[in-house]
Amino acid sequence: MKIYRILFIGVAILLMLPGCGEDFFNLDKEPQDMISDAAVFKDERLVESYIAQIYHQIPWHQGELNTPANMILIEGMGAVARCYAYWQIPASFPLEVIDENGSDAIDYWPYDNIRYANEFIINLQQADFDQEFIDHRVAETRFLRAYMYFQMVIRFGGVSIITEPQAVDAPPEELNVARNSEKEVYDFIASEMDAIIPILDEDADAGRVNKYAALALKSQAMLFAASVAQFDGSQQLNGLLGIPAGEATAYWQKSYDASWEIISSGKYSLYNKIPGDPAENFQQLFVDENNPERIFVEVYDPALAKGHSWGVGAVPFEFRQTWGSNFCPFLNIIEEFEYADGRPGAIDRDLIESNHLFDIDSVFRNRDPRFLATIFFPESDWQGGKVYFHRRTVVGTDTITSGKVGDDWPAAAGNRNSVNTGFLTRKRMDESEIGPLRETSDEDYMIYRYGKILLNFAEAAFYLGKTAEVLEYVNMIRERAGMPQLGSITEEAIRHERTVELVFEENRYWDLRRWRIAHELLDGMRTKGLQYSYYYNEDKYDFILKNGDPSSRTFQQRHYYLPLGVTRIADNPNLVENPGY
């Protein structure tokens, strides 16, 4: 019968097929694009890649161009400069009222990176590498972790110190960590630095943590701790916030000692390659990478696919290829710069009101050489041309707003220059970089430079009563800057020097906070700018005083400690919110 024949052949063929489709019918597939956990701690290159990610995730300076966390944000918060033109979104972030929802743009809560560092420290210590390699990388990571805690403690006060990765199956009471006190966090930073300083190298490649970076962090952190004790001294939330006033001296001393260890090592000095031209020297300080002032930097090199965007943000309108004129300093910071002979830099408001015609040379060019290297003002020289800011040109009785007057005088500057604050940021710019684009700027960012350590040292010395040292070191800074020496020293003079020397280095806002003068200065403050009319026949300018921001600023007492925010409070019953939110 047919059927039997068929079945016979069918069975025969079936038997000949070996294990039908075991390979084809396969449900055990694996992802093809991941490196396994086990592989990482067997290969030094992968370990370096791991630590590179920890470095990378730390915002050493604000690096984004046009987001809330933009490159000029911290200066914006400190009322140094406006972030972008007032019709652009980032301009509003420093004006926001920081409330119970969190601190938005300047928030920082890097527990993911801390966990990543904690995992690294544990795993590397168990790995089978050369012990020196292990010790160095662990020490480096402890620095990075401490730096993150420093960035948190200056925002929130006490935060939870977590030094080991928490287990997934840990009980809630273990996972819901409470906050450590502000003092504990500062002390943790100090003790961590003390522990790793003996291990870290004296010298390391640019970009890698060395012994002096650790000392610099300690100098900086102790300065902050001392300030909190000295200028606030109160305790809140059962000691989570604040450091008793009586402990100020100890912290000043720690900062002083750390700074002194750097100074006395003799490894660093103030950049002074162009002694005859202090303005150009100061400009080059941030450009020249062969520079004895660099203690710890973030390295940029577009040729290695990592460039930054300071140039494209800051470059004046006339010299831009694409963006530009985004970092607009307020008149308030302009006036902080003394005249070259040491006179205070304020411009007489009555003169401005009275249609006085100003001579640019006497009102701007004749200032602290650092001013010339920090700020673009009307007719600043740049790349063989000039930067203009005037809105109109007056010739006799005619007002001209477009075209040219004579052969080469533009009747009005570009809109972005003339309608903003009347100044632009020049510091950290490289005059040899033509038409910077996004991520084409290559200047390394100096996280810690020697000049800052000298100022830390001077400030700590002041509160320790070592007036002679204060004067010596402040004058070292002024001498390099090309400014007259001070004969005596005051708290105000130290703060003034710090402001002008370190402006646009993400410093002022944090200083105002730790000195506890931010609420006096910033609350209700309406920043100012200038509008210029150029008088052609007189070769002089009429100044019109204008508001720099679209609204006044707020800085209330509660803002000395930023809010953790409702969601963080909601997900951990042991976290307490800072007062006032």
Partner 1 sequence: MKRACKKPLTLFKLFCASKISIITMLILLFAMVQVMEGNSNPSSDLAFQEIPITGKVSCIAGEPLPGVNVIIKGTTLGAITELEGKYTLDVPNVQAVLQFSYVGFLVQEVTVGSQRRIDITLTEDVIGLEEIVVIGYGTRKKVNLTGAVATVQSDELEKITSINSTNLLEGQMSGVITKQVSGQPGADNTSISIRGFGDPLVLVDGEERSFSSVDPNMIESISVLKDASAAIYGARSGNGVILVTTKRGSMDLKPKITYQFNYSMQQFTHKPGLITDAGRYLDLWVEAEENVELLPTYTQEEIALWYEGSGRYKSYDWFDWAYRNWAPRQKHNLSVQGGSSKMSYYVGLGLSDQQSVISSDDWYYKRYNILSNIDGSITDHLSFSLDLSYSNEHQSETGAQEVLNWVYKAQPMAPTSFEGSDKTPASNLYGTHQRVVGGIYKDIQGGIDAIPNRFNGRFELKYDFPFLTGMSAGVSLDYRYINRRTKEIRRQWEVYVQNPETGEITLDGRFPADVINNGVWIDDYESRRLKPKFEIRFNRNFGDHSVDALFLGEYFDDIVNEINTHTQNLLSNDLMYLGLGDKTYHELNQRVEESSRASIAGRVNYGFRGKYLAEATFRYDASSFFPPDTRWGFFPSFSAGWRISEEAFMMNTDWLNNLKLRASYSETGYDLNAIRYDYFAGYNVLTTPPYLIGPDAYRRIQIGTLPNPFMTWEKMTNYNVGLDANMWDGLMNIVVEGFYRKRTDILATPQQSFPSTFGASLSQQNLNSMDDRGFELELSHLNQVGEVKYSIRGVFTYARSKWIHYEEEEYTSEDDIRILQRSGNWVNRSIGYVSDGLFRSQAEIDESPVDQDQAGNTTLIPGDIRYKDLNGDGVITWADQEYIGYGTGEPDLNFGLNLGAEYKGFSLGILFQGGSMYSGNISGLARVPFQNASSPFEIHWQERFHETKNPNGTQPSVSMGVREHNAKSSDFWLRSITYLRLENVNLSYYFPKKWISPMRIQNLHIYVAANNLAVISNLGIWRSEFDPEAPLSNNNYPPHRTITFGVNITL
23-62 positions binding partner 1, by CB under 8 A: 24-37, 40, 46, 48-50, 52-53, 55-56
Would you say 296 and 213 are in contact if contact means Cβ atoms under 8 Å apart?
yes
- With CB under 8 A as the contact rule, the residue among 44, 166, 269, 381 that binds partner 1 is 166
Looking at the Cβ atoms of 24 and 276, the one nearer to partner 1 is 24
In 3D space, the residue among 282, 286, 284 whose CA is nearest the CA of residue 297 turns out to be 286
Distance (Å, rounded) from C-alpha 284 to C-alpha 427? Answer: 9
The stretch near partner 1 (CB under 8 A) out of 87-95, 188-196, 452-460, 492-500 is 87-95
- When the beta carbons of 241 and 470 are compared against partner 1, the nearer one is 241
* 439-468 residues near partner 1, rule: CB under 8 A: 439-440
CA angle, residues 35, 39, 41, in degrees to nearest 5:
120
For partner 1, give the closer residue by CB, 207 or 233.
207
Q: How far is the CB of 538 from partner 1 (least distance, A)?
A: 21
Burial 6-27 (b: 16+ CB within 10 A, else e): eeeeeeeeeeeeeeeeeeeeee
Give 530's strand partners: 545
Residue 571 CB coordination number (10 Å): 9
Site for partner 1 in 507-546 (CB under 8 A): 524, 526, 531, 544, 546
Residue among 168 and 468 whose Cβ is closer to partner 1: 168
Q: Which is nearer to partner 1, 516 or 546 (CB)?
A: 546
Sites for partner 1 among residues 61-80 (CB under 8 A): none
Taking contact as CB under 8 A, which single stretch among the options 92-100, 246-254, 381-389, 534-542 is the one that binds partner 1?
Answer: 92-100
Q: Which stretch binds partner 1 (CB under 8 A): 95-103, 351-359, 459-467, 481-489?
A: 95-103
Site string for partner 1, 198-217 (x = CB under 8 A): -------xxxx---------
Binder among 435, 484, 519, 536 for partner 1 (CB under 8 A): 435
Tell me the C-alpha distance between 268 and 73, whole Å: 30
Shortest distance, position 562 Cβ to partner 1, whole Å: 14
Binding mask 227-266 for partner 1 (x = CB under 8 A): ----------------------------------------
Q: Which of 69, 162, 347, 357 binds partner 1 (CB under 8 A)?
A: 162
Asked whether position 355 contacts partner 1 by CB under 8 A, the answer is: no
The full DSSP string for 467-494 is: HHHHHHHHHHHHHHHT-PPPSS--HHHH
User: How many chain residues are in contact with partner 1, going by CB under 8 A?
Assistant: 121
* Residue-by-residue DSSP string for 71-116: TTHHHHHTTSEEES-TTSGGGGGGGSPPBTTB-GGG----HHHHHH
Q: Considering only residues 543 through 562, tell me which ones interact with partner 1, judged by CB under 8 A.
A: 544, 546-547, 549-552, 554, 556
**Which of 403, 467, 485, 557 contacts partner 1 by CB under 8 A?**
403
18, 173, 266, 570: which one contacts partner 1 (CB under 8 A)?
570
Determine the Cα–Cα distance for residues 122 and 459; give it in Å rounded to an integer. Answer: 38
Interaction residues for partner 1, span 467-496 (CB under 8 A) = none
From the list 379-387, 434-442, 500-508, 512-520, the region that binds partner 1 by CB under 8 A is: 434-442
Phi, psi at 97, each rounded to 5° = -80, 120
Spatial distance between the Cα atoms of 193 and 59, rounded to a whole number of angstroms: 20
For residue 174, the minimal CB distance to partner 1 (Å) is 10
Q: Which is nearer to partner 1, 85 or 199 (CB)?
A: 85
Cβ closest to partner 1, residue 178 vs residue 344: 178
Q: Which residues pair with 386 in a beta bridge?
A: 381
Q: Are 211 and 201 contacting, i.e. CB atoms less than 8 angstroms apart?
A: yes
Footprint on residues 284-343 left by partner 1 (CB under 8 A): 299-306, 309, 312, 317, 320-325
DSSP-derived pairing of the beta strands 357-358 and 540-547: antiparallel
Q: How far is the CB of 526 from partner 1 (least distance, A)?
A: 8
Structure tokens belonging to residue 215: 């000392």
CB of 496 to partner 1, least distance (A): 29
Q: Which of 443, 442, 462, 459 is nearest to 451 (CA)?
A: 459
Cα–Cα nearest to 451, from 489, 477, 479, 486: 477
Selected from 572, 576, 577, 579, the binder of partner 1 by CB under 8 A is 572
Q: Which is nearer to partner 1, 297 or 453 (CB)?
A: 297
119 counts as binding partner 1 under rule CB under 8 A: yes
Nearer to partner 1, 27 or 468 (CB): 27
Provide the CB-side half-sphere exposure for 345 (13 A, CA): 21
- Please enumerate in sequence order all residues whose Cβ is within 8 A of that of 244, keeping only pairs 6 or more positions apart, or say none: 229, 233, 235
Nearest approach, Cβ of 318 to partner 1 (angstroms)?
Answer: 10
Q: Is the CA virtual torsion 37, 38, 41, 45 positive or negative?
A: negative
Distances (CA, A) of 227 to 381, 468, 557: 40, 21, 16
Q: For 185-224, b where at least 16 C-beta lie within 10 A, e where not — what string?
A: bbbbbbebbeebbeebeeebeeebbbbbbbbbbbbbbbbb
**Under rule CB under 8 A, which residues in 373-402 are in contact with partner 1?**
391, 401-402
Nearer to partner 1, 235 or 547 (CB): 547
